[in-house]
Amino acid sequence: MAIPQLTAEERAQALEKAKQARAKRAEVREQLKSGEISLADVIAKKDDEVIGRMKVSTLIETLPGYGKAKAEKIMTELNIADSRRLRGLGQRQQAALLERLG
């Protein structure tokens, strides 16, 4: 599939949309890290277009006391693929994740 040719205006709009999405994901991660919101709150918002595209491993790593190694271990224990995004979590995976970390 070829990359679509965008006009300068369309490209600028796409870049701005991507910038806003990154800022929103960073804000959610910061709120999660500071304890303003819980993991359950984030999972409840998984239908949001921007939040739903966050990687589960990134969310786990955001939690205080968790890094890449612990996140990988938890993902393996819960049978969640490394590439899984929040929107793609099934009911059982959500429940297991909240039970383990919530």
- Contact present, 48 and 75 (Cβ < 8 Å): no
Per-residue pLDDT tens over the stretch 20-36: 999 999 999 999 999 99
Contact 32, 62 (CB under 8 A): yes
Give the pTM. Answer: 0.81
Tell me the C-alpha distance between 15 and 56, whole Å: 24
pLDDT at 8 over 80: yes
